[in-house]
Amino acid sequence: MAQSADHVLDHLELFRGPEYQQMLADKKMFENPRDPAEVERIRAVTKTPEYREKNFAEALAVNPAKACQPLGAVFVSVGFEGTLPFVHGSQGCVAYYRSHLSRHFKEPSSCVSSSMTEDAAVFGGLNNMIDGLANSYNMYKPKMICSTTCMAEVIGDDLNAFIKTSKEKGSVRRSSTPFAHTPAFVGSHVTGYDNALKGILEHFWNGKAGTAPKLERKPNEAINIIGGFDGNTVGNLREIKRILALMGIKHTILADNSEVFDTPTDGEFRMYDGGTHVEDTANAIHAKATISMQQWCTEKTLPFVSEHGQDVVSFNYPVGVSATDDLLVALSRISGKEIPEQLARERGRLVDAIADSSAHIHGKKFAIYGDPDLCYGLAAFLLELGAEPTHVLSTNGNNVAGENATLFAGSPFGELPAYPGRDLWHMRSLLFTEPVDFLIGNTHGKYLERDTGTPLIRIGFPIFDRHHHHRFPVWGYQGGLNVLVKILDKIFDEIDKKTSVLGKTDYSFDIIR
Amino acid sequence: MSLATTQSIAEIRARNKELIEEVLKVYPEKTAKRRAKHLNVHQAGKSDCGVKSNIKSIPGVMTIRGCAYAGSKGVVWGPIKDMVHISHGPVGCGQYSWGSRRNYYVGTTGVDSFVTLQFTSDFQEKDIVFGGDKKLIKVLDEIQELFPLNNGITIQSECPIGLIGDDIEAVSRSKSKEYGGKTIVPVRCEGFRGVSQSLGHHIANDAVRDWIFDKLEPEGEPKFQPTPYDVAIIGDYNIGGDAWSSRILLEEMGLRVIAQWSGDGSLAELEATPKAKLNILHCYRSMNYISRHMEEKFGIPWCEYNFFGPSKIAESLRKIAGYFDDKIKEGAERVIEKYQPLVDAVIAKYRPRLEGKTVMLYVGGLRPRHVIGAYEDLGMEVVGTGYEFGHNDDYQRTAQHYVKDSTLIYDDVNGYEFERFVEKVQPDLVGSGIKEKYVFQKMGVPFPEMHSWDYSGPYHGYDGFAIFARDMDMAVNSPIWKKTKAPWKEAAKPKLLAAE
């Protein structure tokens, strides 16, 4: 018996002892196991170009790197002050969104559902909506309830009419109740972000579902910023706010969830925290321009904003020197404010850092996967570092770039090897048949790291198995520095690992790198 | 911090009753009436906990419950390692449940084992409009091609499947035939069915009955020589290795475990279970159905057991041994004796650090009662408990064997109620799920995640008890809980902002 009170062994070590190993070996006879040689043979087959070809012909999705629309809707909704997302559909979906967001941010995630069951599926969910809104309103006193859909979309519940009826029945007295249709079988979480944000703006700008006059735009000097779906939303939005403050630009962050996903532990649970004020959301119509940090998270929202007479500009997850340059120049152009010297110095420091370290990164091959904007932003940064983005894969890329278009058609980097609409089992084939030095992606990439030996650098969503990185920015010059350090740390750890065999490879085990 | 320890039973009862009244005030009348039936203060001597259960959740209240799909794919089927489980429908359900339950297994993932892969038919609009059976056929073919060593496939239905009228049973039958009798199991676990995960467990159990047991050849040659000591572990999902730290005890007492349901389990083990002499059932809630079926159809007796904490482990080992001869009975005594020094050492180390601490629980199938003994072995007291998806038979077992007089009972509790209860009762520890964890930690209350053991485990068996004790100690006694208040601010009791 290996267990002891002095040195408690948990799953990391307990099962490696001889007693458990024997037990597991004996268990095999009941499992009807495959012949180990056959397992080895098939494992080898899965690494081949022939397997890759079959793999790429598939309709099946294995380890996709995307989630469904309502997750994005919940993510964007909680970025508004005192807002409770209300998902019209089965309650299991909401349990999943909440746990998914909680596991990434290590934060509470509040959201309710209309708990539709079989009878609601047959007769429609109107009563669930009426009762649900009344309960949520009484219990959680939201300033706003943002209603989106899940299963209800299949049976065609009419959210607009339902909310109207609920209001007539007195379910919700003072809260605003914007809504958006967010079917899980269209697009992905970035689509849901877009739909829900547009739904919220539409509500406040276009007359609150016929209950108020439409707002008339009276242009002012402010700029609206939309962050998009982003695992690093906490760090990134704070960094953007810092930059805007340095430049002295009046602004509204639309869907500012940087507080609610980063509340302190001080004895108080803040179900709502921070967020864009309701009045600011309405007044955002008067802004001079709206800037989207992620083009493919705002495909419908930006045209909607543009129709109201604002300038709109979008970026693709700006990481690194040029992307930040472009952002600052655009901010300066739109606002008429100068870019302060402090930001120029920050730029210089990032360039300095890249120059210092370039020898270790130049020519290294990278595979990247994630949401389309994230892929684009990281690929652009890698090119600045002299690295080669060899595979760029985005499961939800096809929804934004069209079935046959490559992800980066028209990009300034020329033809990048982009794989829109592909999953991580495809990436596995790519990594076996055309190996790279490093992989950048979310937590699920660890399976690829294990299978293919490609070291994983964790950037994206979700990240469950490393803590707190979402609190740091990856946008702007400061964010670029963070990404650079993250990549370098992994590179140096790998070099050390490969050169640490005593008397064999440790001549290269340098203390100066 | 604990108020409970300094109060009399009568005082606690009065406080808890008052607390329930107070919580109900927030609701509209109709809701208050419904919720009142799910909240109670336990009265010693009663045969159940005096709450209604397994009833539809109320819309809009932030129930903690999940759905039938979670009960089938997430709990019962997902851990069967050599079968491919397709999350059939849109991408989300499979994505959110991917790898989050920590069902450990040994195998070559992606080649002969598939637990931590996310297979989905990733429905698009056209599949909803024109039906998804064609896509399912294609998906099944591709699985055969790309994962040739899979021993079977299950189709885990998501909400749309039942709404658009797909015939996944017909597809399963024809594809099974095409692949020479391959096991393909359609599971009708759409998320809108039933009121919680619970119906998903039942549906998943029934699917084993209909699509595996009923297809066994009656005269099939056993793959191994039967012995009089063959048992099956039912309802252990091997979270953090729970089934392994249980199996080792059963084998040490002389039994032979021929199947694990379903943690680290395989299709062959499911198929072999009708040969067992006894089914031992850990999670009663999720697998009593198939146990009863095997009793009726194959005459296999089943017995419930509890491998949390040394008191219940010893009791359970003796109970299980009671079904066998003296050799096994002696074996049970030998095992209890062997581990006694470990138990003594663990209790000597941790009990002084945990004595008198109070706990509130809110968990799933068996734990709202099963872990109470383990806490008591450490000198801790459970002052409130409730089931996410329990039925009346769970509350009966809880009342008759586990909870103390005046324990606060809350069925299908929601965020608002749970926060209020904790705020007023002020336990030293709250044990619940990931959605609750950060809420209570913000309030300064230590919190172990009791669905999938956070990052830890196993908690079952004697080896697991040592880990459980360590984890509870590190939660309760983490130095950080003394630092939640800035020194220049007045120390305040936990409070919450919602609905203030």
Q: What's the CATH code of the domain at B292?
A: 3.40.50.1980
Is B49 labelled as part of a ligand binding site?
no
pLDDT digits (tens, 9 = 90+) for B222-232: 789 999 999 99
Give yes or no for a contact between B399 and B49, defined as CB atoms under 8 angstroms apart: yes
**Chain A residues near residue B135 by CB distance under 8 angstroms:** 59
B211 with B235, same domain?
no
Residue A419's closest CA among A72, A55, A69, A71?
A: A55
B245 with B341, same domain?
yes
ipTM: 0.96
Residue B459 forms part of a structural domain: no
CATH code given to domain A223-341: 3.40.50.1980
B282 with B384, same domain?
no
Q: Which residue of A54, A62, A115 is in closest CB contact with B117?
A: A62
Task: Please name the residues between 363 and 382 in chain A that touch chain B, using a CB distance below 8 Å.
Answer: none
Please, what is the average pLDDT of chain B?
95
Under an 8 A CB cutoff, do A55 and B146 touch?
yes
Q: Phi first, then psi: give them for residue B255, nearest 5 degrees.
A: -85, 165
Grade residue B340 by pLDDT with cuts at 50, 70 and 90.
very high
Q: Is the previous residue joined to A358 through a cis bond, with omega within 30 degrees of 0? A: no
Judge whether A85 is closer than 8 Å to chain B, CB to CB.
no
For the annotated catalytic residues of A, the residue numbers are 150, 154
Task: State the average pLDDT over residues A128-145.
Answer: 95
Judge whether A86 is closer than 8 Å to chain B, CB to CB.
yes
Domain boundaries, position B427: 9-61+354-450
Q: How many residue contacts between A and B have a Cβ separation below 8 Å? A: 376
Instruction: Give residues with Cβ within 8 angstroms of B300, minimum separation 6.
Output: B273, B274, B276, B277, B278, B279, B294
Residue B463 forms part of a structural domain: no
B20 with B97, same domain?
no
The Cα of B495 is separated from the nearest Cα of chain A by a number of Å equal to 5
B278 with B360, same domain?
no
The Cα of A110 is separated from the nearest Cα of chain B by a number of Å equal to 8
B103 with B209, same domain?
yes
SS3 string of chain B? CCCHHHCCHHHHHHHHHHHHHHHHCCCCHHHHHHHHCCEEECCCCCCCCCCCCCCCCCCCCCECCCCHHHHHHHHHHCCCCCEEEEEECCCHHHHHCCCCCCECCCCCECCCECCCCCEECCCCHHHHHHCCHHHHHHHHHHHHHHCCCCCEEEEEECHHHHHHCCCHHHHHHHHHHHCCCCCEEEECCCCCCCCCHHHHHHHHHHHHHHHCHHHCCCCCCCCCCCCCCEEEEEEECCECCHHHHHHHHHHHCCCEEEEEEECCCCHHHHHHHHHCCEEEECCHHHHHHHHHHHHHHHCCCEEECCCCCHHHHHHHHHHHHCCCCHHHHHHHHHHHHHHHHHHHHHHHHHHHHHCCCEEEECECCCHHHHCHHHHHHCCCEEEEECECCCCHHHHHHHHHHCCCCCCEEECCCEHHHHHHHHHHHCCCEEEECHHHHHHHHHCCCCCCECCCCCCCCCCCHHHHHHHHHHHHHHHHCCHHHHHCCCCCCCCCCCEECCCC
Number of domains in chain B: 3
The Cα of A73 is separated from the nearest Cα of chain B by a number of Å equal to 13
pLDDT digits (tens, 9 = 90+) for B255-299: 999 999 999 999 999 999 999 999 999 999 999 999 999 999 999
Q: Which of A271, A444, A461, A464 to mutate to test the interface with B (most CBs of B within 10 A)?
A: A271
Is A68 labelled as part of a ligand binding site?
yes
> Higher-confidence residue: A9 or A208?
A9
Judge whether A338 is closer than 8 Å to chain B, CB to CB.
no
Residue B460 forms part of a structural domain: no
The pLDDT of residue A408: 62
Residue B455 forms part of a structural domain: no
Grade residue A30 by pLDDT with cuts at 50, 70 and 90.
very high
pLDDT of B46 over the 70 cut: yes
Residue B366's closest CA among B266, B235, B462?
A: B235
**Residue B201 annotated in active site:** yes
B53 with B90, same domain?
no
Q: Which of A3, A262, A394 to mutate to test the interface with B (most CBs of B within 10 A)?
A: A3
- pTM equals 0.97
The pLDDT of residue B493: 57
Under an 8 A CB cutoff, do B59 and A131 touch?
yes
Residue B223 forms part of a structural domain: no
Residue B26 forms part of a structural domain: yes
B94 with B150, same domain?
yes
Grade residue A375 by pLDDT with cuts at 50, 70 and 90.
very high
Is A93 labelled as part of a ligand binding site?
yes
The CATH superfamily assigned to A346-500 is: Nitrogenase molybdenum iron protein domain (3.40.50.1980)
- Residue B79 vs residues A404, B73, B110, B338: alpha-carbon distances, Å: 37, 8, 14, 31
CATH code given to domain A69-206: 3.40.50.1980
B74 with B209, same domain?
yes
Task: Please name the residues between 450 and 489 in chain A that touch chain B, using a CB distance below 8 Å.
Answer: 451, 464
Q: Which residue of A3, A63, A184 is in closest CB contact with B118?
A: A63
Residue B133 forms part of a structural domain: yes
B246 with B135, same domain?
no
d(CA A421, CA A231): 20
Under an 8 A CB cutoff, do A96 and B96 touch?
yes
Amino acid at B356: G
B320 with B381, same domain?
no
The Cα of B335 is separated from the nearest Cα of chain A by a number of Å equal to 11
B79 with B49, same domain?
no
Residue ranges, CATH 3.40.50.1980, chain A: 69-206, 223-341, 346-500
